[in-house]
Amino acid sequence: MRYGPSLIVRIINTSSPHLALTAVLKPQNKIVGFIVGEYEDKKELLGRIVTIEVDPRYQQHQIGQRLLQAFEQNFVDHYSVQTLELQVHFENHKAINFYRKHGYTEVKKLKNYYSRKEHAILMQKSIN
């Protein structure tokens, strides 16, 4: 995963309980995945996925899918969000296909979105 265990715990501990979820491997009590978001716009009922990470050793076990589905449901249940959005690196085809498979559509290309002047794709999903 891109984030170390201490940073993961800090992100999760400082997030609203409904905006951060973890996947924990039992009985080792090891975090193997997490998703973090933010409630972006109360007027438009818009939520944002900030990041979703699954340890590469545990990918292809539906952990990402389960985290995403639970996260979407949390947004509906606790914030009445109608739309979720995220940004993904324009060359991260694996992630783009994952989000497409789960109902997200590409809205637009965000030029020079990342610090190295790399582009992102804005994706959204209606969840109302």
Count other C-beta atoms under 10 Å from residue 83's C-beta: 17
How far apart are alpha carbons 15 and 62 in whole angstroms? 24
pLDDT at 2 over 60: no
Domains of the chain from N-terminus onward:
5-126 (3.40.630.30)
pLDDT at 3 over 90: no
How far apart are alpha carbons 51 and 37 in whole angstroms? 7
Task: Tell me the pLDDT tens digit for each residue of 11-43.
Answer: 666 666 567 787 888 888 888 898 988 886 667
Over residues 60-64, mean pLDDT: 93
When pLDDT is cut at 50, 70 and 90, the band that residue 126 belongs to is very high
Task: Tell me the pLDDT tens digit for each residue of 67-92.
Answer: 999 999 988 888 888 899 999 999 99
pTM: 0.83
